[in-house]
Structure 1
Amino acid sequence: MFNMSQLGVFSHVLFVVLMCYCVESCVQKHIHAQVPEMLEPGYVVTQVNLDGCGVGPLGLTSSDPAFTIQMDGTIQAVLLNVVPVDGKSFWITVQDHQGHRWFMDVNLSSTGQVSNSAVLKRSKRRWSPPPFSVKENGKGPFPKDMEMIASDTSVNYSLYYVIRGAGVTLNPVGLFSVITNTGMLRVHGPIDREQYPKIVFVAHAYNVYNDQETDSPLPITVLIEDENDNPPEFSGPMVFAVQEQCPVGTVVGTVNATDKDEPNTLHTKIRFTLQNGTNLFRIDPSSGIITVSTNTLDRETVEKYILGIEIKDMNGAPDGLSNIGRAVVSLTDINDNPPTFTETSYNGKVTENAADVLVLRIPVNDKDLKNTPNWKAVYEITKGNETGNFFIKTDPVTNEGLLYVTKPLDYEKQPTVKLEVMARNEAPLVGTSAIWQKVPVDISVENVDEGPEFSVPTLLLKVKENVPNGTLIGIYTATDPETKSSNGINYYKLNDPGSWINVMGSTGELKTAMTIDRESPLVYNNTYNITVKAVDKSQKSGTGTVVILIEDVNDNVPKIPKPNQVLCSKDGTRGSILVEAKDLDQKPYSDPFSFQLGSANAGQWRLTGATGTSVMLEPTMDLPNGMYQVPILVKDLQGFGEEQTVFVQVCKCAKEGECAPQNFSTTLGVWGILAMLLGLLLLLLLCLLCILVCSTKGEKLPMADDDVPGGMLLKSNFEAPGEEVKDGLIIIPASGADVMDSFKGGANFGQKQTFGGSMYQNNMQGFLTTNTLSSGQYNTGMYGSSYKKYSTLSTMDGWRENKIQLDKKLVYFREEAAARFAEDILRPYGYEGVGSPAGSVGCCSILTDQESLDFLDSLGPKFKPLADVCTSKSQRGGQ
């Protein structure tokens, strides 16, 4: 039975569960368990099945602090409890990793039966003991007895105990064991807590007769008690930096340390102590934060500090373990030191008229960090450089000031220059009352013998254009800087683009030599420049410039730049054209212009819409197409002008300002017709001349068939390889047996033969003597004999010798040379290879007394067809 207060608690729990969570519970909502009236610490009430709550970590809490729920779902008493007669109730909260929460009511009673809704059977007997602890690094002898476990089922059964898991069958294997018949747990060696802070294994109780487990397995947790066996250790960097002259309390950095012993105990409570530098720094004993205890840190005095730091556990107790390390504190630079000059003043020398030269190096010292903006110097000339003759910059390597003369100095005007130079840094000064320093610099100008100097570097003269030649327009003289006199100085002209000015050598007078024209392209912006040179007795020289400002006169009339115009004729409308005029003169000698038609206008044109520089020209009547000349008088503002002619082409336009092409019939005039008639007459005379020439017969010139050397008639369009050579083409004459005997198988000489419509003059001619062919070189050695010079032979002997050599040649080309001369073969029509330089073998060549038979060596590829024919005939017995 529940009292009213318990009933109210349960009602509230049920209301929260119903209102806050609609997700289906992963555990049962109610658990009833029968327990003894007195619950000792460690008593296992029951076990909740958490398999349906997922695989993530669960949050398990009990509303009653006298009970706890372990991660495996075991509900266990942690305090001594007395269960009332009417029972005891509390609830368990289960929360998964997604934030879902469920509530489970637990009802305990000392009487009655357990509800069938329990996940596991209740523990019928109580295991003992509860979780216990073992000191790490325990000393032997081993094994040592720890605790005894026992199950209440031992009252009814004979039991033996078995343990499994971490420390037994898992790492660290063999650390624990159990005496099977008594349940005494034993430890077999020292344990390192830093490696195994807690060991959990499972104990089982079995019936010795049937080996059946008589009770639920009991998880046993062995807590390893910590021993202060690990000194603290430094962790993280121990290199710090802080700005010099920083205020007191500025944080330098934090020293970090760790201890492997059990957290949140004295074994890991570390105390930090500074061993040196305590007058400049301090360290917080518990946090390890280093701060500055003075504002006098000076990087230029000490740039780096090394601090000894002790860390000790047990909060610094004498029996604590300690360690010592070193922290490095570097001071960062600030610009608290201005650059200082090494001398109180500086002196330098420079030659007059010198420019862009280094005069002086000014060194400085700076204690700040080198090559930083706090150290790099910047120089300024604060006095004495009003004329801009000097320039100073910094040498990036040495940090010195480099003083240059950029504009020449004049000894006669200023023999000594006094300057003041200031040196500062790129960064402003901080943390100091010092200011930027200045130093005086005296520069002595050394005198040199200088050339003449003109009175002014540039002389401006005003001259009207078109002044007469020889007009004096000005005088440009120079003086010697040393003597201040112009005596002995001569003047010359260096530059005069148009040769308009003459310079008088001894006086410096400037006179016109040619007409000065303001409208000349040599004039720019109404000015014309010349350069004059002055030379003294020592041949020193100086130059000056004369700028002539040319004043305009009215020497140009307005001109019409486009006198040729096109007027497009349109049906029903009269066009107009714009006539513009230009005048090279300036105002008031130019526009506005006045326009007036000339006397020869005849009333065909009129002027309208005049402006200052243009006027519209339009016809007063419809004009036929053609060319018209319109005289127009154009005058400037002063009434100075002349009459000019505008040529107007009136036509139909294809596009604006361009006449369309005209038909021939419309452009053909009287002269065109006359030209056509003249051409026809000339053509008729040419025909009559041709008829007269063709009717005149020429004399026939007989071709003498004598012994005069002749030629060979060939078709002009004939292509290689030549006429076809056949056996029937070798014709033997009816007479001349001696010739037959002397040249059997060869060509017939001295006869006219016609082959294929071609006439050959076969008189004996000289054979070509060229012996170089496209396919190789022939010589007398090829045929095994030497040729005789023809001048030593009679005519008949010559024929015989020719026959012999030709026979050998034919055999060579037929047999021996077939492989060597690959091109000496028949080619198809159209072959355009290289032929024989000896010419055609279809006729005879001229033979003279001075020539030998060497031509046989030069018979090339074209000779092979004849060789084939002649050799075949010889094999058939033909002679």
Structure 2
Amino acid sequence: MYDFLYLQLHTDLDVGNKNIRYVLAGEGAGTIFAINELTGDIHAMKRLDREEKAEYTLTAQVINRDTNEPLEPPSEFIIKVQDINDNPPQFIEGPYQGSVPEMSPVGTSVTRVTATDADDPVYGNSAKLVYSILEGQPYFSIDQNTAIIKVALAGMDREMREDYLVVIQAKDMGGHMGGLSGTTTVTVTLTDINDNPPKFSKGSYEFTISEDLGIGKPGGRVKANDRDIGENAKSTYSIIAGDEKDVFEIVTDSQTQEGILTLKKALDFESKYFYNLTVVATNIRPSATGAPFMDQTTIKIIVEDADEPPVFTKSTYVFEVHENAAINTVIGTVTARDQDATRSLIRYSIDRHTDLERQFNIHVDDGKITLAKPLDRETDTWHNITVTATEIRNHSQISRAIVAIRVLDINDNAPEFPTEYEAFLCENGKPGQVIQTISAVDRDNPAQGHTFHYRLEMLNNPNFTIKNNLETIPSASWRNTTRSVVRNRKCTCCPSW
């Protein structure tokens, strides 16, 4: 940039001639540049800035002062603005962000910065830049020509320090004295690598789990901490010893990275009340060296006894009783037992919703079922009742069992004739002639184990006989009898009448 510009135009005309005048036209004439009409000297009227406009094209001409007629053709000339070092370097894109993996070796490239200088790059050294680090050593270095920032210190650990602020300077004039400079900042972040194994916060854990904990429910949480972040910090948990019956499993909470111990099978305090599990946490990603990162701990599990309901020896009982059994006859006995260590006494009862007629009773202490009302097989062959067993110590602990009672038949029903019979007989009927077939039914059950036979006898009339369809009739079967009147009429249709 020039504070003053002086040019002198020359002409072949006699400069002593007072009748000539110099005129100027073109870019900036009259505003930026002015010409002395008498001498032809050109002056700059304001400061010039090469970075705004590097050259101007102008024309000058000599004219007659009186007539304004040109005395010679116009002359064109170019004014070039010569550069000076008046612009400092600038980092247009700064401030910068860069990253590099932790533990990177010396010389690893981090990022590149770029400064620009508005001065003329082909004239002198005004735009020749040299880069250097003002802050950020000894961790990083910069190539003075390419402006590539590199790692300068080995073994930088993200877990010790993650971010570094680096101040970069660009200086023109090739870095020599008197040059102008500009600065920018670069925030360098060390990115994580998997260089830390998981580590349990405790060498051993102890959980007390109630035996009534449901399947899939959490029984405890463990945590293997990892100084790494992101995927490098994620671990999976597994049980490698102490769970021979495959009772437990451990899964990873995706949010907290905890290992959640859950049940795959129900616990039973009475069969096993202590477990000693060995649990391993293993990184999902391999380590920086390729070897797996893992840690292990011990989980001691104490199974807590829960108050469980009594257990019947059978889920369903089947008893039999004859229908003529006496009241208070013992039909059968049910048995339930408290499996808990406290061994509570048991009280038995009948669910009366299943025995609305109160046909049966049960002894509250020993579970004996007795008959309360007479039975009739022909009315109900089966009775299905529900019995309950309740702990005396905790009335909320109740179990139920089905009792099916089969009523056995006895011969307590006489045969029955379905109707009174009326037969027709011709007076000339022959002996042995079939006059009528009669039958009787018995409600007792022949399939119950008894053999029922029916003996039909003719009473009060020696002129007629009845032929039985059974050959052998045990005398014990004769006690239940019934009678029917067979009325005899003479046949009115026979011609002999």
TM-score norm. by structure 1 comes to 0.37
Offset of 1:342 from its aligned partner?
A: 1.4
Distance across 2 between alignment mates of 1:334 and 1:203: 73
Distance across 1 between alignment mates of 2:104 and 2:226: 21
Offset of 1:226 from its aligned partner?
A: 0.5
Counterpart position of 1:210: 67
Counterpart position of 2:173: 314
Runs of at least 5 residues in structure 2 that lack an aligned partner in the other structure: 325-329, 372-376, 405-497
Please give the per-residue CA displacement for 1:629-685, whole angstroms capped at 9, x wherever unaligned. xxxxxxxxxxxxxxxxxxxxxxxxxxxxxxxxxxxxxxxxxxxxxxxxxxxxxxxxx
Asked if 1:219 is matched to 2:76, the reply is: yes
Counterpart position of 2:11: 150
Counterpart position of 2:101: 243
Judge conservation of contact 2:104–2:154 (CA < 8 Å) in 1: yes
Aligned equivalent of 1:228, options 85, 95, 109: 85
Greater RCO structure (CA 8 Å; 6+ sep): 2
Offset of 1:193 from its aligned partner?
A: 1.8
Counterpart position of 1:167: 28
1:300-699 equivalent positions in 2, closer than 5 A: 300-355=159-214, 359-369=219-229, 372-375=230-233, 378-385=236-243, 390=248, 392=250, 400-403=258-261, 408-424=266-282, 428-432=285-289, 433=291, 435-447=293-305, 450-455=308-313, 477-481=335-339, 490=348, 492=350, 506=366, 514=380, 533-536=388-391, 538=393, 541-543=397-399
Distance across 1 between alignment mates of 2:381 and 2:12: 141
Distance across 2 between alignment mates of 1:343 and 1:375: 18
- Which protein has the larger Cα radius of gyration, Structure 1 or Structure 2? 1
Counterpart position of 1:193: 50
Distance across 1 between alignment mates of 2:258 and 2:45: 81
Offset of 1:302 from its aligned partner?
A: 1.2
Distance across 2 between alignment mates of 1:300 and 1:539: 57
Counterpart position of 2:438: none
Offset of 1:339 from its aligned partner?
A: 2.9
Judge conservation of contact 2:248–2:264 (CA < 8 Å) in 1: yes
Please give the per-residue CA displacement for 1:445-476, whole angstroms capped at 9, x wherever unaligned. 233554422347x6699x9xxx9999x99987
Judge conservation of contact 1:352–1:447 (CA < 8 Å) in 2: yes
Please give the per-residue CA displacement for 1:676-727, whole angstroms capped at 9, x wherever unaligned. xxxxxxxxxxxxxxxxxxxxxxxxxxxxxxxxxxxxxxxxxxxxxxxxxxxx
Judge conservation of contact 1:149–1:185 (CA < 8 Å) in 2: no
Distance across 2 between alignment mates of 1:311 and 1:460: 98
Distance across 2 between alignment mates of 1:437 and 1:304: 29
Please give the per-residue CA displacement for 1:201-221, whole angstroms capped at 9, x wherever unaligned. 222332345322344433321
Distance across 2 between alignment mates of 1:487 and 1:367: 57
Judge conservation of contact 1:249–1:293 (CA < 8 Å) in 2: yes
Distance across 2 between alignment mates of 1:335 and 1:409: 39
Judge conservation of contact 1:379–1:392 (CA < 8 Å) in 2: yes
Amino acid at match of 1:183: G
Offset of 1:316 from its aligned partner?
A: 2.2
Offset of 1:304 from its aligned partner?
A: 0.8
Alignment length, in residue pairs?
A: 385
Judge conservation of contact 2:345–2:393 (CA < 8 Å) in 1: no
Offset of 1:225 from its aligned partner?
A: 0.6
Amino acid at match of 1:261: D
Please give the per-residue CA displacement for 1:200-257, whole angstroms capped at 9, x wherever unaligned. 2222332345322344433321101101122212221322222323455543222121
Offset of 1:303 from its aligned partner?
A: 0.5
SS across alignment from 1:423: strand
Distance across 1 between alignment mates of 2:317 and 2:29: 117
Q: What RMSD over aligned residues (CA atoms) do the two structures have, in Å?
A: 4.7
Residues 468 and 271 of structure 1: CA distance in aligned 2, closer, same or farther (over 3 Å)? farther
Distance across 2 between alignment mates of 1:184 and 1:497: 135
Judge conservation of contact 1:334–1:368 (CA < 8 Å) in 2: yes
Residues 430 and 530 of structure 1: CA distance in aligned 2, closer, same or farther (over 3 Å)? farther
Distance across 2 between alignment mates of 1:444 and 1:534: 29
Structure ranking higher in strand proportion: 2
Asked if 1:281 is matched to 2:140, the reply is: yes
Offset of 1:299 from its aligned partner?
A: 0.9
Distance across 1 between alignment mates of 2:339 and 2:317: 22
Residues 191 and 386 of structure 1: CA distance in aligned 2, closer, same or farther (over 3 Å)? same
Judge conservation of contact 1:414–1:445 (CA < 8 Å) in 2: yes
Offset of 1:168 from its aligned partner?
A: 2.6
Judge conservation of contact 1:336–1:429 (CA < 8 Å) in 2: no
Please give the per-residue CA displacement for 1:128-171, whole angstroms capped at 9, x wherever unaligned. xxxxxxxx334xxx5x53232436799999643200233333xx
Residues 532 and 213 of structure 1: CA distance in aligned 2, closer, same or farther (over 3 Å)? farther
Runs of at least 5 residues in structure 1 that lack an aligned partner in the other structure: 1-135, 518-528, 549-879
Offset of 1:337 from its aligned partner?
A: 2.5
Amino acid at match of 2:83: D
Please give the per-residue CA displacement for 1:102-125, whole angstroms capped at 9, x wherever unaligned. xxxxxxxxxxxxxxxxxxxxxxxx
Residues 347 and 158 of structure 1: CA distance in aligned 2, closer, same or farther (over 3 Å)? same
Judge conservation of contact 2:344–2:392 (CA < 8 Å) in 1: no
Residues 329 and 486 of structure 1: CA distance in aligned 2, closer, same or farther (over 3 Å)? closer
SS across alignment from 1:268: coil
Please give the per-residue CA displacement for 1:748-792, whole angstroms capped at 9, x wherever unaligned. xxxxxxxxxxxxxxxxxxxxxxxxxxxxxxxxxxxxxxxxxxxxx
Judge conservation of contact 1:469–1:514 (CA < 8 Å) in 2: no
My pick for the range that moved more, 296-305 or 207-216, is 207-216
Judge conservation of contact 2:388–2:400 (CA < 8 Å) in 1: yes
Counterpart position of 2:471: none
Residues 241 and 494 of structure 1: CA distance in aligned 2, closer, same or farther (over 3 Å)? farther
Counterpart position of 2:36: 179
Distance across 2 between alignment mates of 1:495 and 1:310: 95
TM-score norm. by structure 2 comes to 0.62
1:709-858 equivalent positions in 2, closer than 5 A: none
Offset of 1:259 from its aligned partner?
A: 0.9
Judge conservation of contact 2:205–2:299 (CA < 8 Å) in 1: yes
Counterpart position of 2:464: none
Distance across 1 between alignment mates of 2:26 and 2:368: 124
SS across alignment from 2:126: helix
Distance across 2 between alignment mates of 1:497 and 1:274: 98
SS across alignment from 1:315: helix
Amino acid at match of 2:68: D
Distance across 2 between alignment mates of 1:186 and 1:303: 61
SS across alignment from 1:348: strand
Judge conservation of contact 2:336–2:346 (CA < 8 Å) in 1: no
Judge conservation of contact 1:354–1:407 (CA < 8 Å) in 2: no
Judge conservation of contact 2:348–2:387 (CA < 8 Å) in 1: no
Judge conservation of contact 2:345–2:392 (CA < 8 Å) in 1: no
SS across alignment from 2:81: strand
Distance across 2 between alignment mates of 1:494 and 1:299: 75
Judge conservation of contact 2:337–2:346 (CA < 8 Å) in 1: no
